[in-house]
Amino acid sequence: MSILISYAVGNGDMFSIKHNSDNFTIIDSSISEENRDWIIANLKNQGEAKKISRFISTHADQDHIMGLEYLDNEIPILNFYCVHNSATKVNETADFKHYCQLRDGDKAFYIHKNCTRKWMNLSDNEQGSSGLTVLWPDVNNADFQTALQHSKEGNSPNNISPILRYSLEDGGKFLWMGDLETDFMEKIEHEVEWPEVDILFAPHHGRDTGRVPQSILSRINPSIIVIGEAPTEHLNYYSGYKTITQNSAGSIVFECGRNLIHISVSSDSYSVDFLSDYTVDTYADNYIGSLEV
């Protein structure tokens, strides 16, 4: 069983994966003074006894790196995964400066399309892999290189975000796209091998500016789209798809077993009508149902 958590952090993104191998992964950081005690406690609990840990940074906007320095002090980051970039900011926060130290230091591993690494997606006789695959970026792609240059000039780094897939044998399949914007997705649509997935975390927190084009959605064919935390007026609710809205659900826990994903949320008043009821004991209190995969 693996446990994937999408944390309710306000306006931002943060995830952790307690893999069913000896791996632990954190994706992005959005830690504030208000939430840091319970998030750090949860991360320590989830990562306890795992020998291999990694932090994946999708991009260096503040709502994806907030509290990074504090996180590194509390749970030392030994493996820092990011796209190779030279992003700058006009106003550098302490967390951005820390991001740059990690990005440019000896703990960095630069991810790109189809990259391999023990034990991200390579296993051996001693350790299993994490089941993570990088589907994008193609570092030679002209549109990606333009996005890199924009970020180097201090503009938005949204479109340097990688596309990540997490999959389990006979289990769930998840997809992240960072804060990719709709017009950029349209440019690279035919450069990505889009897999079918069970859970899609909507890009840019579910904002309309990061709406996934229908032609891509048809190929991904997600069972559930998770719409992240952002002001309601900025969200796209993906009409015609089953969704979980984090603004209302709070933190979301996906417990992945064989052919099932048990889903719980932190809000005791949130529910959906499209999941099966397996009446199971779960990691979080408010079990809302299970997805058959």
Count of domains forming the chain: 1
Here the tokens at position 258 are: 């064989």
pLDDT at 183 over 90: yes
Average pLDDT over residues 196-223: 98
The span from the CA of 288 to the CA of 47, in Å, is 25
Pairing of strands 173-176, 163-167: antiparallel
Ramachandran category for residue 105: left, alpha or beta (phi over 0 → left; psi -120 to 50 → alpha)? beta
Please state the φ and ψ torsions of residue 203, each to the nearest 5 degrees.
-60, 155
pLDDT at 9 over 90: yes
Average pLDDT over residues 144-166: 98
Residue range 236-279, pLDDT digits in tens: 999 999 999 999 999 999 999 999 999 999 999 999 999 999 98
Question: What is the span of the domain harbouring residue 180?
Answer: 2-292
pLDDT at 170 over 90: no
Spatial contact of 125 and 60, defined as CB atoms under 8 Å apart: no
Residues of the chain above pLDDT 70, percent: 100
Residues of the chain above pLDDT 90, percent: 93
Report the CATH number at residue 79.
Answer: 3.60.15
pLDDT at 285 over 90: no
pLDDT at 41 over 90: yes
3-state SS record for 150-186? HHHCCCCCHHHCCEEEEECCCCCEEEECCCCCHHHHH
| Per-residue pLDDT, 124 | 84
Spatial contact of 36 and 30, defined as CB atoms under 8 Å apart: no
Spatial contact of 56 and 25, defined as CB atoms under 8 Å apart: yes
Cα–Cα distances in angstroms (integers) from residue 160 to residues 74, 148, 177, 279, in the given order? 28, 6, 10, 41
Give the Cβ contact number of residue 292 at 10 Å: 11
Average pLDDT over residues 11-39: 96
Residue range 105-153, pLDDT digits in tens: 999 999 999 999 999 999 888 788 899 999 999 999 999 999 999 999 9
| Per-residue pLDDT, 279 | 85
| Per-residue pLDDT, 131 | 95
0.95 cut: is pTM over it? yes
Q: What is the mean pLDDT of the chain?
A: 96
Here the tokens at position 189 are: 């649509």
Measured in whole angstroms, how far is the alpha carbon of residue 270 from the centre of its chain? Answer: 22
